[in-house]
């Protein structure tokens, strides 16, 4: 039989293992990177049901139309589609329901004041597992104009060509 000290040490090791378990990506919002200029990034937890977490473990979530809004001093994620869990039952719920984001009060206030600025909005960039918890990387963004999008594409292509030329020169 283990002593109390041994049990507490095992619990501490288990907690450390969970913290160091790494990050596993679920879904990315690549469209947001093309459509918006990112001003600030935050990490937020999500309030989910059991079948939603199981569905996300299967990689069945999309962020394409997702956005964040502030209501009643709380941050909400809406428009994110989490497919119903196939082995789930009656409690699967609506795949596009709004989900509460877990943020500190000062972070919510900061987002609310900056969203009220014209042209700024808040969108999810990615969903991922951090240990056993589902996290969302959210960003405060400003919409890009058409010429900004073209400029980004030109810069990306120039960088790609430079890398290819360097790689060819090394051979």
- Check which CATH number belongs to the domain holding 101 and give it: 2.40.280.10
Domains in the chain, number: 1
Residue 82 lies in a domain: yes
Q: What is the pLDDT along the chain (171 residues), one digit of tens a residue?
A: 567 777 787 777 766 655 555 677 888 888 888 788 888 899 999 988 888 888 888 888 888 888 899 988 899 999 888 888 877 676 677 778 889 999 999 999 988 888 887 778 889 999 898 888 889 999 988 887 777 778 888 888 999 999 999 989 988
Residue 69 lies in a domain: yes
Residue 120 lies in a domain: yes
Residue 150 lies in a domain: no
Residue 104 lies in a domain: yes
* pTM tops 0.75, yes or no: no
In terms of phi and psi (left: phi > 0; alpha: psi -120 to 50; beta: otherwise), the region of 119 is left
Apex CA 113: angle with CA 112 and CA 118, to 5°? Answer: 100
Distance CA 107, CA 16 (A): 26
Give residue 77's domain range: 21-144
CB 123 within 8 A of CB 67: yes
Residue 26 lies in a domain: yes
Distance CA 164, CA 171 (A): 11
């Amino acid at each position: 039989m283990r002593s109390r000290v041994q049990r507490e040490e095992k619990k501490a090791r288990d907690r450390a293992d969970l913290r160091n378990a790494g990050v596993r990506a679920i879904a990315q919002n690549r469209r947001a990177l093309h459509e918006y200029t990112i001003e600030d990034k935050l990490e937020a937890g999500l309030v989910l049901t059991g079948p939603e977490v199981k569905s996300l473990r299967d990689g069945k979530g999309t962020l394409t139309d997702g956005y964040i809004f502030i209501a009643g001093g709380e941050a909400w994620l809406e428009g994110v589609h989490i497919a119903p869990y196939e082995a789930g039952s009656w409690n699967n719920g609506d795949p596009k329901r709004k989900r509460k984001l877990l943020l500190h009060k000062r972070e919510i206030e900061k987002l609310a004041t900056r969203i009220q600025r014209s042209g700024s909005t808040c969108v999810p960039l990615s969903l991922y597992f951090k240990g056993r918890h589902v996290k969302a990387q959210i960003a405060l963004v400003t919409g890009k104009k058409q010429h900004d999008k073209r400029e980004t594409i030109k810069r990306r292509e120039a960088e790609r060509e430079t890398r290819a030329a360097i790689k060819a020169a090394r051979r």
